[in-house]
Chain A
Amino acid sequence: MLATYELTTGQKRFIWHHLLVAMVALAIGTLFGPLQAFEHSGLDLYKYLDPVIKSYYQGLTLHGVLNALIWTTFFITGFITLTTIKGLNRPLSHPKLNQTGFWMMVVGLLTAAVPILLDQATVLYTFYPPLQASWAFYVGLTLVVVGSWVEGWGFYLTFYQWRKENPGVRSPFITFAGLVTMVLWQFATLGVAVEILTMLLPAALGLIEGTDPELARTYFWFTGHPLVYFWLLPAYISWYGMLPKQAGGKLFSDSLARLAFWLFLLLSVPVGFHHQFVDPGIPQTWKAIHAILTFGVFFPSMMTAFTVIASLEYAGRKRGGTGLVGWIRALPWNDPSVASQLLAGILFIFGGIGGLTNASYEVNAVIHNTTWVPGHFHLTVASAVTLSFMGISYWLVPHLKGKKLYSAKLGVIQAWTWFIGMLIFSNAMHVLGLLGAPRRTPLGEALYVPAEWEGHLLRVAIGGAILFVSAILYFWNIYKTVRNPETAEVEVPIAESREDPQNTPAWLDSWKPWLIATVLLIIVGYGPQLYFMIRDISLTSPGLRLW
Chain B
Amino acid sequence: MSDADFDDREFHPRGTVLIVTLFVLLLIVLWGSVYVILLARGTTL
A and B touch in the complex (CB under 8 A): yes
Q: Which residues of A contact B2 (CB under 8 A)?
A: 320
26 contacts between A and B (CB under 8 A): A306-B20, A309-B16, A309-B19, A309-B20, A310-B16, A314-B13, A316-B15, A317-B11, A318-B3, A319-B3, A320-B1, A322-B1, A325-B18, A349-B23, A349-B26, A353-B27, A357-B34, A360-B35, A362-B38, A362-B44, A365-B44, A366-B34, A366-B37, A366-B41, A367-B34, A434-B34
Q: How far is the CB of A150 from chain B (nearest CB, A)?
A: 40
Closest to B5 in A: A320
Please state if A363 and B35 are interface contacts (CB–CB under 8 Å). yes
Please state if B16 and A313 are interface contacts (CB–CB under 8 Å). yes
Separation of A314 and B31 alpha carbons in the complex (Å): 30
Separation of A322 and B2 alpha carbons in the complex (Å): 9
Binary interface profile of A, 488-511, with partner B (CB < 8 Å = 1, else 0)?
000000000010000000000000
Chain A interface, number of residues (Cβ within 8 angstroms):
32
Please state if A309 and B13 are interface contacts (CB–CB under 8 Å). yes
Please state if B44 and A305 are interface contacts (CB–CB under 8 Å). no
B contact patch SS? helix
Q: Which residues of B contact A314 (CB under 8 A)?
A: 11, 13
Binary interface profile of B, 23-45, with partner A (CB < 8 Å = 1, else 0)?
10011001100110110010010
| Extra 15 A-B pairs, beta carbons < 8 Å, given A309-B20, A356-B31, A498-B8 | A302-B20, A309-B13, A309-B19, A313-B13, A313-B16, A320-B3, A322-B1, A349-B23, A356-B27, A360-B31, A362-B38, A363-B34, A366-B34, A366-B38, A434-B37
Separation of A323 and B1 alpha carbons in the complex (Å): 10
Binary interface profile of A, 311-345, with partner B (CB < 8 Å = 1, else 0)?
00110111110111101100000000000000000
Closest to A356 in B: B31
Closest to B6 in A: A318
Q: Which residues of A contact B27 (CB under 8 A)?
A: 353, 356
Separation of A349 and B13 alpha carbons in the complex (Å): 19
Chain B interface bracket (under 10, 10 to 19, 20 to 34, 35 or more): 20 to 34
A153 an interface residue at 8 Å Cβ cutoff? no
Q: Point out residues on B near A: beta carbons under 8 Å.
A: 1-3, 6, 8, 11, 13-16, 18-20, 23, 26-27, 30-31, 34-35, 37-38, 41, 44
Q: Which residues of A contact B14 (CB under 8 A)?
A: 313, 324
Closest to B23 in A: A349
Separation of A367 and B30 alpha carbons in the complex (Å): 14
Closest to A327 in B: B15
Separation of A325 and B22 alpha carbons in the complex (Å): 13
A231 an interface residue at 8 Å Cβ cutoff? no
Q: Which residues of A contact B19 (CB under 8 A)?
A: 309
Q: Which residues of B contact A320 (CB under 8 A)?
A: 1-3
A contact patch SS? helix
A305-B20 contact given A310-B13, A324-B15, A360-B35, CB 8 Å threshold: yes
Closest to A308 in B: B16
Q: Which residues of B contact A313 (CB under 8 A)?
A: 13-16
| CB contacts between A and B, total, < 8 Å | 68
Separation of A20 and B6 alpha carbons in the complex (Å): 42
Separation of A317 and B13 alpha carbons in the complex (Å): 10
Which of A305, A310, A316, A356 has the most chain B CB atoms inside 10 A of its CB? Answer: A310
Closest to A309 in B: B16
**Chain A contacts with B in 277-330, Cβ cutoff 8 A:** 302, 305-306, 309-310, 313-314, 316-320, 322-325, 327-328
The 4 closest A-B pairs by CB, nearest first: A310-B13, A310-B16, A309-B16, A313-B15
A221 an interface residue at 8 Å Cβ cutoff? no
A357-B1 contact given A306-B20, A317-B11, CB 8 Å threshold: no
Please state if B31 and A306 are interface contacts (CB–CB under 8 Å). no
Separation of A323 and B15 alpha carbons in the complex (Å): 8
Q: Which residues of B contact A252 (CB under 8 A)?
A: 13
Separation of A498 and B38 alpha carbons in the complex (Å): 45
Separation of A306 and B35 alpha carbons in the complex (Å): 26
Please state if A357 and B16 are interface contacts (CB–CB under 8 Å). no
Separation of A362 and B35 alpha carbons in the complex (Å): 9
Please state if A305 and B23 are interface contacts (CB–CB under 8 Å). yes
Q: Which residues of A contact B37 (CB under 8 A)?
A: 366, 434
Q: How far is the CB of B5 from chain A (nearest CB, A)?
A: 10
Q: Which residues of A contact B3 (CB under 8 A)?
A: 318-320
Q: How far is the CB of B9 from chain A (nearest CB, A)?
A: 10
Q: Which residues of B contact A367 (CB under 8 A)?
A: 34
Q: Which residues of B contact A316 (CB under 8 A)?
A: 15
Please state if B38 and A365 are interface contacts (CB–CB under 8 Å). yes
Separation of A313 and B19 alpha carbons in the complex (Å): 11
Which one, A319, A328, A362, contacts B15 given CB within 8 A?
A328
Separation of A357 and B6 alpha carbons in the complex (Å): 41
Separation of A310 and B35 alpha carbons in the complex (Å): 31
Separation of A503 and B13 alpha carbons in the complex (Å): 21
Q: How far is the CB of B14 from chain A (nearest CB, A)?
A: 6
Separation of A85 and B3 alpha carbons in the complex (Å): 32
Separation of A306 and B3 alpha carbons in the complex (Å): 23
Separation of A354 and B30 alpha carbons in the complex (Å): 8
Separation of A357 and B19 alpha carbons in the complex (Å): 20
Q: How far is the CB of B19 from chain A (nearest CB, A)?
A: 6
Q: Which residues of A contact B13 (CB under 8 A)?
A: 252, 306, 309-310, 313-314
Separation of A363 and B23 alpha carbons in the complex (Å): 20
Q: How far is the CB of A430 from chain B (nearest CB, A)?
A: 9
Separation of A309 and B19 alpha carbons in the complex (Å): 8
